[in-house]
Amino acid sequence: MFLLIILNLFAFSFADTPVDCNTKDIIGQWKLEIENISDDPLVNCQAKSELSILDTKIINLEQPNIITNLKKQQIGTWTMIHNEGIDLFFDGKRYFTLFNYTVDEEGIVTSHCESMRPGWSRNNIIHPTNFSCFNGSKVNSKLQPVEPITRIIKPKIQLNEESEDDIEYSLNMKSKWIKRPFQSFNATFIHSHNKLITKKKDKQFPSHLDWSNHNLTNYIPSINFVDPVYNQGKCGSCYAFGALSMIESRILIASNYTIDVQLSQQEIVSCSPYTQGCNGGYGTTVNEWIIDHGISIRKCFPYRLKNQSEEQCSSKNCGDGNRIQKQANTDSIDQDDTKPQNTYFIDSYGYVGGYYGACTQEAMIVELQNGPIIVSIFASLDSFKTYHGWKQSKKYFSGDNNQENGIYRPLPDEYEQIKDANHIVLLVGYGTDGDDSEQLNRRNDEPEKYWIIQNSWGRSWGQDGQARILRGNNTILIEQEAEYANPYNVRIIDKRGSLWNKSANRGSVSYAIIQSPQFFALIGLSFIALILLIIAVIIGLFRRSIVHNEYTELVGIRISSGDINSGQEDEVSGDSSAQFVGSIGSG
């Protein structure tokens, strides 16, 4: 009975919109029609039925991710957003939208991959204000609309069922953690936004990496840079939990373990028109919102398991506490250090590998050196729902079963069930079977490689909410679609509580010296030497006091002896006695 309850417990919501377009559908010439700049930076372009066209642009989308003009000159880059939308980067602007679709009375969806829904155009900067709406249509060489490119699919939106008590417990776990700075850690970020990553072999990087149990140096115990396990509940918000957990971890890494922030999943669900709330979204659409508008901390807008229609964005309450504010008529951001920071931004984001479809195991390992990333997986298999973790696997599985060593792989008869990815999780690291003391005996003589994921289904799933997934063969599509984001202008808090800018100081020679383990070893040795010196001085003063007392006592004895002798022996003169006493006293 318990197993049946578990099997029915998890359903998934990953689809932003029920659209199914592929790269072949998109390659070709497109006409973009753009409105004038809106007065409202929060304009919901997809709610518009008609646009007042001000400008038209003709572009060519070419393989693998190149945008060219009519003269075949490269002017930018592009990427699919899964199979539902597109990001365009050219002429100093960013364009984001989803493809069109229709739904009939029976719920059957028809994708229209030759046309775009109204989307957003803005300057390719952090926190832009010049938002315009646009739409797009695929055209032929004569700039005429092409034949409809349609694909019929069934709806793929389902919801995850969990209790509110479980979610409140998992969200409150983080408030019990205490973070302290680790001065010897120096994070190095590899920015690869819309650039192809050169493939590197695993051996060029550590064979084991786990940001939830990370060993910085041989002198410091392993520490956890990852959030506690959350529970998304009955709202299909895995995309928000995954993306924000990634950003929270990377803020903690970039701030040298001094800024522990909890970001608002409910803001993404309730406020962002780039996603469909509890009906799903993608990491990229979360990152689009954060680079455009920022993300508030969770206490400004706590998680309520409610959709946009149930929990309006007006519930967000940060007041004037935002430390990062947009300066009027400029593209810069003003930072007031006298106010608490309630809003955070990112400065870059993208698909691992450079664009959707370019993800590889090697590229994932490269990006993981900078911090956790998010991955899309197919999570509907019964064996995945009932995964027990690597410590308990031997108890539940034996023989030729797929999970005896705790590394998850589907059962043989489940592979044909794997379809499109439908769930987003946090990828916190990787390793090899037998590379730690917790690992059970291997099933095979050849060590197996694995990924370490952290789910948003609460701590009761897997190994306290985590799982090890077989690495190297795209198990449950885990190596097909990975995403990253880098936090904007993270500031480091030193022991005195002052703030200093990472970009201005982290690369300096003095900062590198201060952050080195040798520096702290030298400081430690100097401190020990100082203590020993103080002890030596105290002992010296104490011994001198003892010697002085002994001398004083000896002088007193000599004086008394001299007086007695002078009275008994007439041959000894007073002058001689005085000289003798004087010689003792001067010593």
181-190 per-position pLDDT tens digit: 433 333 333 3
262-314 per-position pLDDT tens digit: 999 999 999 999 999 999 999 999 999 999 999 999 988 899 887 766 677 86
Mean pLDDT score, 387-411: 65
| 356, 348 contact by CB (below 8 A) | no
For residues 473 and 563, state if they share a domain. Answer: no
Residue 475, pLDDT above cutoff 90? yes
Distance separating alpha carbons of residues 321 and 319, to the nearest angstrom = 6
What percentage of the chain's residues is helix, strand, coil (to nearest 5)?
Answer: 30, 25, 45
Mean pLDDT score, 39-52: 92
Q: Give me the pLDDT at residue 221, please.
A: 67
For residues 372 and 457, state if they share a domain. Answer: yes
pTM: 0.75
Residue 16, pLDDT above cutoff 60? no
Distance separating alpha carbons of residues 271 and 285, to the nearest angstrom = 12
Residue 553 belongs to a domain = yes
User: Domain range for residue 230?
Assistant: 208-214+225-515
Residue 70 belongs to a domain = yes
For residues 135 and 258, state if they share a domain. Answer: no
Distance separating alpha carbons of residues 150 and 104, to the nearest angstrom = 14
CB atoms closer than 10 angstroms to residue 460: 14
For residues 147 and 279, state if they share a domain. Answer: no
Domain count, the chain: 3
Torsion of CA 568, 569, 572, 573, to 10 degrees: 60
Residue 161, pLDDT above cutoff 90? no
The whole-chain average pLDDT of the chain stands at: 77
Q: Give me the pLDDT at residue 556, please.
A: 65
For residues 549 and 470, state if they share a domain. Answer: no
Q: Give me the pLDDT at residue 490, please.
A: 73
106-133 per-position pLDDT tens digit: 888 899 999 999 999 999 999 999 999 9
Last residue of a domain, one of 111, 126, 152: 152
In sequence order, the 6+-apart residues with CB closer than 8 A to the CB of 303 are 167, 171, 264, 265, 266
Q: Give me the pLDDT at residue 549, please.
A: 72
Residue 483 belongs to a domain = yes
Which CATH number characterizes residue 136's domain? 2.40.128.80
Mean pLDDT score, 398-413: 72
| 57, 39 contact by CB (below 8 A) | no
Low-confidence winner among 72-76, 423-427, 524-528 (lowest mean pLDDT): 524-528
For residues 319 and 459, state if they share a domain. Answer: yes
Q: 132 has which bridge partners?
A: 121
For residues 358 and 425, state if they share a domain. Answer: yes
For residues 256 and 396, state if they share a domain. Answer: yes
Phi/psi at 81 (5° precision): -105, 95
Cis ω before 228 (30° cut-off from 0): no
Mean pLDDT score, 404-412: 87
In this structure, what DSSP letter does residue 430 have? E
Give the residue among 378, 422, 396, 439 at the shortest CA–CA distance from 210: 439
Which CATH number characterizes residue 393's domain? 3.90.70.10
pLDDT band at 559 (very low <50, low <70, confident <90, very high): low
Distance separating alpha carbons of residues 79 and 580, to the nearest angstrom = 104
Last residue of a domain, one of 131, 152, 173: 152
The percent of residues above 70 in pLDDT, for the chain, comes to: 66
Low-confidence winner among 137-151, 236-250, 353-367 (lowest mean pLDDT): 137-151
227-276 per-position pLDDT tens digit: 889 999 989 999 999 999 999 999 999 988 888 999 999 999 999 999 99
For residues 499 and 525, state if they share a domain. Answer: no
Choice between 451 and 394, residue whose per-residue pLDDT is larger: 451
For residues 385 and 433, state if they share a domain. Answer: yes
Most confident among 74-78, 396-400, 436-440, 530-534 (mean pLDDT): 74-78
Residue 219 belongs to a domain = no
The enclosing H or E element of 346 equals strand 346-351
